Amino acid sequence: MKSREKLFKLLEKIKQQLETVSDLPEVATAQLETDLQSIYNQLNSVKADPAVDPTIRIWSDGACSGNPGPGGWGTIIFEDGRYQEFSGFQSKTTNNIMEMTGALEGIRRTPEGSQLIITTDSQYLVKGMTEWLRGWKRKNWKKADGKPVLNKSIWMALDAAAGLRDIQWQWVKGHNGHLQNERCDELARDAIEEAIKS
């Protein structure tokens, strides 16, 4: 499992380095991207041993065309050595709600009592779940300034789902070459495009 994680980190570093190279022909760059994706897919297909690491990993992201506007969310779940991808669409929403929905949809697809590591590029989501939530609940869902907490219903849903699991929240910088985060962004944006086309 540790070797697998090291390989993913190595792939991320290679991708970041490729983005800084400007003198490669476009064809060569495209081929390298294809090769990296192929390696990534092969790693995904390798069966891991859940007895070695029972932790389920979730990556999530959200996107919005206009804020508010049509929105999409994407989430990737790594469980029992397999990756699964999910996405969805809302016709009128906000970017923050889509970020939160991506995480919530991932959590809901895991068994109660699971150990989860959730990675997102939303500081709003991470800080909400790790720093602000207790205070909001103590103050009857009011912020420090006495105003009502925005997006209360989805915060409550996240709180209820997270309370049934052991979750570690991690933040990653968005659009910075992180493979799973970039893929979640694609899932979210594709969900918007597909819904708008239909």
Q: Which of 62, 71, 74, 128 is catalytic?
A: 62
**Burial (0-12, 13-18, 19+ Cβ within 10 Å), 30:** exposed
Burial class (CB in 10 A: 0-12, 13-18, 19+), 100: buried
Catalytic residue among 12, 79, 99, 105: 99
Q: Note the Cα 134 to chain centre separation in Å.
A: 23
106: annotated active-site residue: no
CB contact at 8 A, 118 and 92? no
What letter does residue 176 receive in the DSSP assignment?
A: S
- Marked catalytic residue, from 112, 113, 145, 175: 175
Whether residue 88 lies in the annotated active site: no
Phi, psi at 142, each rounded to 5° = -115, 150
Q: Does 99 participate in catalysis according to the annotation? A: yes
| Amino acid making up residue 12 | E
Active site includes 175? yes
**C-alpha count within 13 angstroms, C-beta hemisphere, residue 65:** 15
Catalytic residue among 12, 121, 128, 178: 121
Is 105 annotated as catalytic? no
Residue 118 CB contacts under 8 Å (≥ 6 apart), including other chains? 57, 58, 59, 60, 103, 106, 107, 167, 168, 169, 170
Catalytic residue, chosen from 12, 79, 182, 185, is 185
Q: Is 166 a catalytic residue?
A: no
Q: Out of 12, 61, 79, 182, which one is annotated catalytic? A: 61
Catalytic residues: 61-62, 99, 121, 175, 185
